[in-house]
Every structure is written in C-alpha cells, then in structure tokens.
Structure 1
Amino acid sequence: MCGIVGYVGPRPSQEILIAGLARLEYRGYDSAGIAVIDADGGLNMRKKAGKLSVLRDSLTEHELAEGTTGIGHTRWATHGGPTDVNAHPHLADDDRLAVIHNGIIENFSALRAELEAEGVTFRSETDTEVAAALLGREYRKTGDLQSAFLAVVNRLEGAFTLLAMHQDQPGLVVGARRNSPLVIGLGEGENFLGSDVAAFVEHTRHALAIGQDQIVSITPDAVTVTDFDGNPVEPEPFEVSWDAAAAEKGGWPSFMAKEVAEEPEAVANTIRGRVRDGAVVIPELDGLDDLFTGINRIIITACGTASYAGLVGKYALEHWARIPVDVELAHEFRYRDPVIGADTLVVSISQSGETMDTLMAVKYARERGARTLSICNTQGATIPRESDAVVYTHAGPEVAVASTKAFVAQITALLLLGLHVGRVRGSLEDGAASVAELEALPAKLAHVLESEQGHVAQLAGWMADTRSVLFLGRHVGYPIALEGALKLKE
C-alpha cells in the first residue's frame, strides 16, 4: 500500500511532493523519500526510514537543492527491511536516474543475477533497484527515457507502478502501471502523477485514468500515454468529486471518527439522482435491461468488509429481484473452478477499485463469459474499467484503514441495485414503500449518531477490559454481526 507522487511544472517541487505523500500516509508505510532535478540540472535525493516527519526534519536540517521536477514515495517493506538504504527512490546510471516503485517484481531474482553477471553492484536488497539498473542500462543505449521505459516494462513480471526521471531530461517524468494504481492530474502549465488522486487533489481535480499495461510521460505542458507495445492510447478523463479538505481530519480526533460522522452524507450522496417518481432508476445501468432479465444467477465477490456488505446485498437482491445470489471471497474465487457463463452476473465490490484479489476475480469471470458489474468508490480505478458496468458509491475519500462510511455506502448501492433489478425483472412488489424507506435512511443515520453517542461511549468504557465478545445476528443482522466483530478486532 505504498504511496507515489510525481510532479513537473513551474513551482518548487519539494513541498508538493511532501504534501502529496502526507495525504497518502493512510496507505501505510515504513520509509519515505524524494528526488528532484535542481535548477542546475543535477539530481538530488533524500530518503529516510520511519515516518514522513523524519524525512521532513532531515530536509529542514540539511536542505536539498530545489527543482521543479520531482518524484516522491512512501514504502512498505517487502524485499529488504525498512532501512534508509532500502527506501525509495533508487538511483542508477551513475546516480543520474531515479526510480520509485509500488508492487512486487516477481522475476527480480533472475534479472538481478543477469545484471550482476554484467558487473552491476547493488546497494539495496530491493526488487526496485533491479528495475532501476535495467532502466539505466537501456537509457545508456537509447538516450531516451521513454524508449528505455518501453524496453524495461516488457521484461518485468508481477504487479508494479514505476516512476522515473533522468537529470539529462529535466521537465519529464515517466510512469508505467501493471496491476497497481496510477492516475494523472492535469494542471495549467503543470502535471502530476499519483497512486491515488489524493496525491494531487489540492492542486487539481482534473484527472486521467491510466489503463492496465500503459506508459505515461508528463511534461509541464503535455501528457502522452501508450501501451506496452508503444501504441498511442487516449486516456479516460474524469473529475475528482471531492477536494483536499475532504481528506483532512478537520478537527476530529481521528479519521475513523470523522468518517463515521460522514455516514449520513455518504448514504445520501449514493442515493442522490437514482430515485425517479418513487422508483429506483440507476442512470449508469441504462440500456442493460436485457442483461438483468437474461441472467439466472448472481455471484457477489469481494474481500473483508466489502464481502460483508455483499452478504447484506444478497438478502436484498434475492428478496426484490427473485434471483439466486452467492457471495464469495475474491481471494478464493478463481482457484476453485467455479461454474459460470453468460447467464451469470458477477458483482464485485471494492472501495478503492484496486483490490488485487477482486480485480483478478473480475478478469477470471470475464474470461469465462460472465457479465460483470462493479460497485466502487474511486473514479478512474481499474476494477470499474475492467467491468461491463459500474455503480459508484460517492462516499468521498476514506482514509481510515477500518472502513466505516464506505461500508454503509456499499450496502446502500446494493439496496439500490436490488430495487433497480427487481423493477426491471418485474418481481418487485413493495417497491414504493421500500424506496421511501431507503430515502429516509440518511436522516435516521444522523439521528442515531446524534442521540446515541453517550450510550456508545458508556458501552465502550464498560467493554474496554473485556477479554472476549460474541456478536450475534439473524437475517441481515448476521453480516452486520460479522462486520461488527471485525471492527472490534481492528
């Protein structure tokens, strides 16, 4: 869950990089670093194990030469421990090239052995430095970062987002993605890259989605995207629907407390625009009536909290749409050879839209002819783009690791889906009353949050030293009990 930021433009890049990494801290990390190309064309780098504050203090004590091209990274250790040396960026080509990386390069051992046989000496234990050394070798052949990138990414196996810059080409940052998120932020005379829109939302809400196996090059005035074969690609534009303030605590003691308080708004935003004349009509699903009348089975696939939302959705879809629904954990779905085909709808649920097991389940379903629909909170994410249709939850950014408002928004989206499919299939008997109850949910949630705080605090104090807790529930209370138990463990 590392964080990535890239910037090219007229402004000093260090603070942009540090601020972007700060907004990505929720992703979890154990080291941080930045690299910039200074005004004299030199590449300067600083990286530190520990929290971002350690890096920030180091930059305050010993200033790094400022520049307007830069990349930044927060790392969660995989290959090699959380040390200064293993932190990103990694350098190559006589320290003129800097590379940062999310994900895991699965064939790094063979590539490292190949490079060591050529006399390359490695300073770290990471798979990332292998990619940097490969890129440096290709750059020396071509003298062009984009061409070198194209040659290198086709040799890498696994999941990765890579960003690189070279001091010989200031004003250029090149990135690539495979099975790991990367988005483009479009500014005026400046452009951004990030593993999440939170990295640049303070500066722009205009964004482009980068697809699977694609390479992006940004300069202050241009963005170019190609596939891994070098063919031009037209990226999909989208607007970020929230601002930087939405990703700040805003006086709350924690992001989790803030996001619990935002649940009524998240539910209201998910419902908004999807109720027409007392019936649920989801605009994103226009033209798909034949799909919903032609299927005879639905499989909901997700991980963790999202799978518990899916269990609630199972009750709603079976009750209103009168169609059998199974809920399966995404990390097991493709390993058991499930019986699926054109008459099966696979519904995936993911807050980020990048959950790897869920993405692989969606791809598996499509390969076997099933139709796919995603429920997601993040525009421009991979899972919606891999699916035949998507229902966005509009919950806004969720920073806390323990999901709260995204969970209730996912349940809301599934209730909407059940009412929509039930209407299309003609099986909905209590539609108007159910829609009215759905529209009343935000106000009821707000009432509970306002009126029950004292009781909840009292109960929490009473339970603080409890050694074990048993959650019980029946019908929709069963998946809620599962989610409640998970939250207490978290």
Structure 2
Amino acid sequence: MCGIVGYIGSKEAYPVLIKGLHRLEYRGYDSSGVAMISDEGKLNIYKAKGKVAALEHFAESKDRSGTVGIAHTRWATHGEPNDTNAHPHASQSGDLAIVHNGTIENYTVVKKALEQHGYAFRSETDTEVVVQLIDYIRTDTGCTLFEAVREACHQIVGAYAIAVIDRRNPNQIVVARKSSPLVIGVGDGEYFIASDATPIVEYTNRVVYLNDDEIAVINRGESLHVFNMDNKESKVNIQKLRMSISELEKGGYPHFMLKEIFEQPRTLRDCIRGRVSADGKHVVLSGVLDNKERFLDAHRILIVACGTSWHAALIGKHLFEDMCRIPVEVEYASEFRYRNPVVSDKDVLIAMSQSGETADTLAALELAKEQGAFVFGICNVIGSSIPRATDSGCYIHVGPEIGVASTKAFTGQVTVLAMMALMLGRMKGTIADEAFERVTRDLHRLPELLQEVLELDTRVKDLSKIFTYAKNFLYLGRGYNYPAALEGALKLKEISYIHAEGCPAAEMKHGTIALIDDDMPTVVIAPRDKIYDKTVSNIQQIKARNGRIIALVTRGDEVAAKIADYVIEIPEVCECLSPILTSVPLQLLAYYVAVNKGRNVDQPRNLAKSVTVE
C-alpha cells in the first residue's frame, strides 16, 4: 500500500497525477513514483524515496509528456523504502508498468517460477512479481492486457488493487481489485483512478466503486467496462460523490489534525441531525429500525475494530450493556479473524472502521457472515468496502478525515453507538424514560459543550510546553473513561513518538504504579460520575509517590483539583457521553506536544491512514 492515482484523457497526465499524490499524502507513505506513456510512445517511470516533493524535483528536468499515466505513494511492506522498491514497477520487457496496493502472499512461489523462465528482478517487492507475471502470460499466450491481468489475478493469492498500462497501447488502463479499495472517476471523455475519492473530487463527482474480484477496462473515449473474474460483464453503477474540495483543504489551520479537532462541534451536529428528535423523545437510525427483529432477537453483540475504533467500541460495550442489558464482547479484528470464534445466527456483529477499508475488520466481518451472524457496519467513508459488505449499517457523517491520527471519527463513532444503544434500549424496554430523555437532551447539547471545551485550547497549549520533553506518559480513567484514557495515550504516541500507556485507574496498583515518579506525568480523567470518589483515591495514591498529575475534572470540582498539579475543567454532561468531551483536551494535548517537538503531525512516521494490509 498506500495510494494509487491514474489518469487517461485529453489533459496532460503528469499534473493530474502529482496533484493526486499530494491529495493522498494523508494516508502515510515513504516513497512515490509516476509512470506515463509519452507523446512519442515511450514508457517513462520516475520514482523517489521520501515525499512527493522529492519526486517532483527529480522529474523536473525529465520528459513528462503524455495523456495517460499511473502513480503511487508507497508504505513499505516488502523491502525497505528506497528508489528501487518504490512504485511503479516495470516489466522486464519494458512494455508494462504497474502500481499496486495490498500484499501478495504467494509472491515467492510465483517469483521462483518466473525466474525459471528467465525473468530477473530488480526490487524486493511482491508488486514487481505481479507485473512480470502479467508480462509472461501476455508474451506466452499472445492475449490482450485485460486477459493477462485476469489470468494473473487467478494465480496470485492475497489482497490487491492494481493499475496496469502498456506502452504499446496508450489508450488503455486495466485495473483490478481484491480486498483493497479502488475507485474510478468518470469525467467528460476522461477517467480518473484512485484509492479513494480525494484525488478525484476536484475533477468529477461521478464515481464507480469496484467490488472485490472485479476488473475494469478503461479505454480512452469509450464507455467503461467492468468484468468479474469469470469474464462476465458487470453492471457499471455510477454514484454521486458527497464530498467538496473545501473539505480537503486546511481552511487556514496549520495542520489537518487541528482543523479536524475544531470541526467536532459541527461534525457531531451533522452526525446527530435527523436521528434524534428535537423533543428528545425519539432516536431513529434506519439501519437499526429496518432490522429491528435481528437486534431484538440477538443473544449477544460482538464489536470488531482496530486502533481508535477499538477504543470507541469499548465505550459502546458500556453503552449497550447499560441501556440494553445485552452481553457485548469487543474484539480486535486482527485477533478475531485468526481464532476459531464461536459465532451463531443469534449474534449481531458490529464492524467499525473510519475508512471502511481496514483489512482485518473486513476479514472479521466476512468470517462472522459465514457463520450466520447479522453484520452491521459503522463507517465514515461513503461507498467504502465495509458498508458494501455488511447487511446494514450507519454512517457517522463527520466528513473526510485527513489527519492520520483520528479525532472527529472517534467522537462520531461514540455518538453513533450512543444513539444505537438508546434506540435499542427503548425498543427492548430496558431504559427508563427519564434516563432516555436525559441522555438525548445532552446529545443535543454536545455541539455547544464541545465548543466550550475547545475554548480550553490556550490552556492546553500552555500545558503542553511543560511536558513536551517527557519520555513517558501515563493515562488513567475508569468506567466510560477508561477507553478515553487508552485513546489519549494512543494520540500522544502516534504523533509525538513519546511512549504513553493507558490503564484503568484501579489497575494501576497491579504493577503500573512502579513506574510513578516525578519525571513521569500522569493524566487522570476524573469527571464527576458514580465512581468519582474511587478515582480521587487513585489520584491520592499517585500524589503520595511524587507523581505529577494533570487532572481532567468537571467544572467546579474542588477535591481532585486541589490534589492535582494541573487541572483542565470540562462542562458537566451525563456520564455515558463524558468520553466525547474528555477526549478533546487529550487530542489537543497530543497535538501541541507534537508541534513543540517539530513532528509531522498529519503524517507521523511509519503510520498509514487506511490500513489495507494485515
């Protein structure tokens, strides 16, 4: 992985490809490259380790002519990041070029077979094996590029989104997909190819999302044709993009992450709009309502997710068990898919992913479907793979999230889980009217409460200067806010590279307390809730060991605030929604510490926005 761009039409391809690569930078990468068929019919490939700017500099004096081309940003999986391993890769004949996202599991077997046929390899990648295989099939059989790609896809095992061009036919691009996203933009006599819609929205709002095991033949000036692996033509379903170019710009903020933190009052308003009635008496999610019986008959809810989505899922467990009185299990998708889990047709499995393309989560939901579970998706990206693979679902509607470290998607996921729990609890009769209306009232207030929290920006910025050079951080929380502590620790280590650990406050005594000293700051999430007194006791235990404490407390707190060294006050809100408020100062803290350390906040090292490989 990480990002594919392609173009065929009447425009010069190079500017479109480079701009597209810049649009995909948010996904994370370590090298980039372009391949174009020049006006003279030559296949020109330019690649460079590092940022897209390095590629632009390298290609500046080169022949960049041509109206067809493919490009790629790479996040290394096979072979170290360098110019040779960067995509695109050329066939030994020099006729073909390929870009590829995903991993080919049987590439060593295929490589050895090709070596026996005289093929030599320049790179360490699995991708080069694919282009050499396509070249071999085409040379050996005399078939078309489409037929060679289709046969190669039958022989390789793994996940892939590929785009292939042939210098002998500059009027065609062939693309294929399995378990890795690929979208085709349909313009006026031109086509655009990308891993997601961000490089396309500037040129057209008409897109086709390829399904698994589909191949598209894109010919200049002709209609798009899509086929399955059995060579049967599929219906081309053109959809309208719901995205604007302004959503992909920083809007005056220094980083996308800060912009997205400050967007949260609006994004939660969008998430709630039309789903919670103005009088607070009704919550309606059509994906739940249309499948009411499956939810009411469920013996258990399973939630599978990764990373930040897994933290949101832990809050969902509290919400469903409190309001719906149904057992809930939260699983790392990467562990669930490789166990032999006990799943039945009485289970509801919720698959959560911001991108909707997380490979492990996709595999986990497919496993659950095979065993008869009803699968419900919670995603942000419309038209992504998880919404198309699930039985039903719900979008969080927070808009494109460009920063690698998730912020508004987390609060959106928790908000959707809260609405689901309220609706299901009302259907099951397991939540009292008074409690239901109290939570829905606070749901309506969330945007204004978040706006109040964002007024703490200067306070958190000043605090960050004190702790920028800490080598370790500890985050503690209890109940609903234990997952918020995990999420706060994740944000800090993701973008500042400071080691941080999240822990249930009471569990600190079982080992973690040995780390406490005056060099290690501890963030304690201590809103006024039913276990507030217990959390205060934990704060006292840290203070007794000379720990330096940053406490997140409810406005007006006079107990924990007196013990802590530094205090951040948040507005009062019902306990089950408090993680939405407590998470935002922790996002700001991580952001400002990372900025103070000179980190690349939007593109932290080694991380990718959409994890489409295992």
Provide the C-alpha distance between the structure 2 equivalents of 1:164 and 1:73, rounded to a whole number of angstroms: 12
Q: Does 1:439 align with 2:450?
A: no
Provide the C-alpha distance between the structure 2 equivalents of 1:442 and 1:100, rounded to a whole number of angstroms: 42
Give the Å deviation of 1:281. 0.7
Q: Which residue of 1 aligns with 2:65?
A: 66
Q: Which residue of 2 aligns with 1:133?
A: 132
Q: 1:14-72: CA deviations, max 9, x gaps?
A: 01000001111122222111111223333222112221111101222x13241111100
User: 2:472 corresponds to which letter in structure 1?
Assistant: S
* Kept in 2: contact 1:205–1:243 (CA 8 A): no
Give the Å deviation of 1:489. 1.9
State which of 457, 460, 466 in structure 1 corresponds to 2:464. Answer: 460
Q: Which residue of 2 aligns with 1:294?
A: 297
- Tell me: CA distance 1:236–1:276, structure 2 relative to 1, closer, same or farther (3 Å): farther
* Kept in 1: contact 2:8–2:171 (CA 8 A): yes
Provide the C-alpha distance between the structure 2 equivalents of 1:94 and 1:272, rounded to a whole number of angstroms: 57
User: 2:200 corresponds to which letter in structure 1?
Assistant: F
Q: Which residue of 2 aligns with 1:315?
A: 318
* Kept in 1: contact 2:224–2:236 (CA 8 A): no
Q: Which residue of 1 aligns with 2:121?
A: 122
Q: Which residue of 2 aligns with 1:332?
A: 335
Give the Å deviation of 1:103. 1.4
Q: Secondary structure at the match of 1:132?
A: helix
Higher mean C-alpha displacement, 77-86 vs 252-261 = 77-86
Provide the C-alpha distance between the structure 2 equivalents of 1:218 and 1:276, rounded to a whole number of angstroms: 46
Provide the C-alpha distance between the structure 1 equivalents of 2:436 and 2:427, rounded to a whole number of angstroms: 12
After TM superposition, list the pairs within 5 Å mapping 1:379-394 onto structure 2: 379-394=382-397
Q: 1:334-393: CA deviations, max 9, x gaps?
A: 333222211110101100111111111101111111111010011121122111112111
Give me the identity figure in percent. Answer: 43
Provide the C-alpha distance between the structure 1 equivalents of 2:63 and 2:347, rounded to a whole number of angstroms: 57
State which of 350, 357, 362 in structure 1 corresponds to 2:360. Answer: 357
Q: Which residue of 1 aligns with 2:265?
A: 264
User: 2:272 corresponds to which letter in structure 1?
Assistant: I
Q: 1:237-271: CA deviations, max 9, x gaps?
A: 43332222212223212121111111112211111
* Kept in 1: contact 2:288–2:420 (CA 8 A): no
Higher mean C-alpha displacement, 39-48 vs 94-103 = 39-48
User: 2:44 corresponds to which letter in structure 1?
Assistant: N
Q: Does 1:281 align with 2:280?
A: no
Q: Secondary structure at the match of 1:469?
A: strand
Provide the C-alpha distance between the structure 1 equivalents of 2:378 and 2:165, rounded to a whole number of angstroms: 36
Provide the C-alpha distance between the structure 1 equivalents of 2:402 and 2:393, rounded to a whole number of angstroms: 22
Q: Secondary structure at the match of 1:215?
A: strand
- Tell me: CA distance 1:432–1:481, structure 2 relative to 1, closer, same or farther (3 Å): same
User: 2:308 corresponds to which letter in structure 1?
Assistant: T
* Kept in 2: contact 1:102–1:162 (CA 8 A): yes
- Tell me: CA distance 1:458–1:65, structure 2 relative to 1, closer, same or farther (3 Å): closer
* Kept in 2: contact 1:347–1:375 (CA 8 A): yes
User: 1:216 corresponds to which letter in structure 2?
Assistant: A
State which of 372, 377, 380 in structure 1 corresponds to 2:380. Answer: 377
Give the Å deviation of 1:143. 4.2
Provide the C-alpha distance between the structure 2 equivalents of 1:261 and 1:243, rounded to a whole number of angstroms: 18
After TM superposition, list the pairs within 5 Å mapping 1:44-193 onto structure 2: 44-60=44-60, 62-92=61-91, 94-140=93-139, 141-193=141-193
Higher mean C-alpha displacement, 71-80 vs 403-412 = 71-80
User: 2:124 corresponds to which letter in structure 1?
Assistant: E
Q: Secondary structure at the match of 2:138?
A: helix
Q: Which is higher, the Rg of structure 1 or of structure 2? A: 2
Q: Does 1:448 align with 2:447?
A: no
Q: Which residue of 2 aligns with 1:345?
A: 348
* Kept in 1: contact 2:288–2:295 (CA 8 A): no
* Kept in 2: contact 1:192–1:218 (CA 8 A): no
Q: 1:61-119: CA deviations, max 9, x gaps?
A: x1324111110011122222222222211112621211111111111111111111111
Q: Which residue of 1 aligns with 2:571?
A: none
Higher mean C-alpha displacement, 231-240 vs 304-313 = 231-240
Give the Å deviation of 1:445. 0.7
Aligned length: 488
Q: 1:282-338: CA deviations, max 9, x gaps?
A: 123342111111112101111111111011111222222221111111111133322
- Tell me: CA distance 1:98–1:242, structure 2 relative to 1, closer, same or farther (3 Å): same
Give the Å deviation of 1:161. 1.2
Give the Å deviation of 1:128. 1.2
Give the Å deviation of 1:236. 4.4
Provide the C-alpha distance between the structure 1 equivalents of 2:105 and 2:485, rounded to a whole number of angstroms: 38
Provide the C-alpha distance between the structure 2 equivalents of 1:8 and 1:92, rounded to a whole number of angstroms: 21
Gaps (5+ residues) in structure 1?
none
Higher mean C-alpha displacement, 171-180 vs 213-222 = 213-222
Q: Which residue of 2 aligns with 1:245?
A: 246
Provide the C-alpha distance between the structure 1 equivalents of 2:224 and 2:270, rounded to a whole number of angstroms: 32
State which of 458, 465, 477 in structure 2 corresponds to 1:473. Answer: 477
Q: Which residue of 2 aligns with 1:214?
A: 214
Provide the C-alpha distance between the structure 2 equivalents of 1:294 and 1:236, rounded to a whole number of angstroms: 35
Provide the C-alpha distance between the structure 2 equivalents of 1:380 and 1:391, rounded to a whole number of angstroms: 12
Provide the C-alpha distance between the structure 1 equivalents of 2:438 and 2:406, rounded to a whole number of angstroms: 29
After TM superposition, list the pairs within 5 Å mapping 1:32-43 onto structure 2: 32-43=32-43
Q: Does 1:404 align with 2:403?
A: no
User: 1:265 corresponds to which letter in structure 2?
Assistant: R
Q: Which residue of 2 aligns with 1:5?
A: 5
User: 2:404 corresponds to which letter in structure 1?
Assistant: V
Give the Å deviation of 1:157. 0.7
Q: Secondary structure at the match of 2:476?
A: coil
After TM superposition, list the pairs within 5 Å mapping 1:215-230 onto structure 2: 215-220=215-220, 221-230=222-231
Q: Secondary structure at the match of 1:270?
A: helix
- Tell me: CA distance 1:236–1:343, structure 2 relative to 1, closer, same or farther (3 Å): farther
TM-score under structure 1 length normalisation: 0.96
Give the Å deviation of 1:468. 3.3
* Kept in 2: contact 1:344–1:371 (CA 8 A): yes
Provide the C-alpha distance between the structure 2 equivalents of 1:318 and 1:142, rounded to a whole number of angstroms: 62
Provide the C-alpha distance between the structure 2 equivalents of 1:475 and 1:240, rounded to a whole number of angstroms: 39
Q: In angstroms, what is the RMSD of aligned CA positions?
A: 1.7
Provide the C-alpha distance between the structure 2 equivalents of 1:431 and 1:373, rounded to a whole number of angstroms: 23
User: 2:261 corresponds to which letter in structure 1?
Assistant: V
Q: Secondary structure at the match of 1:63?
A: coil
Provide the C-alpha distance between the structure 1 equivalents of 2:427 and 2:230, rounded to a whole number of angstroms: 42
* Kept in 1: contact 2:23–2:199 (CA 8 A): yes
* Kept in 1: contact 2:14–2:64 (CA 8 A): no
Gaps (5+ residues) in structure 2?
495-614
